[in-house]
Structure 1
């Protein structure tokens, strides 16, 4: 098992987060969604100016809790996650990506755990995530199912958050 330290993202992490997220989207969804939808997802979700601005939001925006990164023993970023509490009581996981070489080593669980704790701190009692493809075909479904998420509709999963 790989140990990952999780910390708040810094401005200098923006390019790495952008690349990591783009690689994860391309690698996971190209065959399922096709080239044009994947290109649109990457263009929208991974734009460096967007990620840089999201990291640098002073004090956070209403409902936005920011980016977290997971680093390996050598300090290299191996994963990233972003989330918020846009609706009172309901946390939303906006992004979770792990480098292919670090998958199935606890990095995603560490990022989800840290993001969940942030959400709880802002009153979240439930957590949701939207997926780019329907849940029957989405490659992230086994991970989310193992974390207690269940389908709410074909592209949305949710789970209640237990008290720590």
Structure 2
């Protein structure tokens, strides 16, 4: 199944915020304390922050912007953000899919697209930091060649 990955636009900020909050709650509720889950949602899903980040792709050193996958009806079902903050290393800041749309190629399409944006900036590897120990995303990333200990994973691009 082919995925249409595109750069996020201003009107995507609220749907991205909702998607991130849903993904964080889905993977952290029952594992982290409710206050910790609320703090993660508050920090990572801030609408003003997302709106500002969408408005500056390529405008900040190393920042590559937000990418999204939307269904034909416009529902955002996947989102990713990344950059190349240091020499030869790309960083995946966020990559998530709607819990009801997992295992359909959305995450893989986003990961490939963000890698395609990192290569021209001479990134030779990608890194990601998982939200928590035992994060359900660990299986996704290790299946795609990421290795590491704890929450920090890396792979060659």
TM-score range relative to shorter protein? over 0.9
| Aligned twin of 2:75 | 76
Structure 1 match to 2:12: 13
User: Which residue of the partner structure matches residue 95 of structure 1?
Assistant: 94
Unaligned runs of 5+ in 2: none
Determine the structure 1 residue equivalent to 2:46.
47
Equivalent pairs, count:
157
Task: Give the match's secondary structure for 1:20.
Answer: helix
CA distance in 1, matches of 2:43, 2:125: 26
The answer to whether residue 139 in structure 2 is matched with residue 142 in structure 1 is yes
TM-score by length of 1: 0.91
- Contact 2:57–2:65, Cα closer than 8 Å, also in 1: no
* Pairwise CA distance, 1:57: 1.5
User: Does residue 156 of structure 1 match 2:152?
Assistant: yes
Runs of 4+ in 1 over 3 A off after TM superposition: none
Structure 1 gap segments, 5+ residues each: none
Q: TM-score with structure 2 length normalisation?
A: 0.95
Contact 1:150/1:158 (CA < 8 Å) preserved in 2? Answer: yes
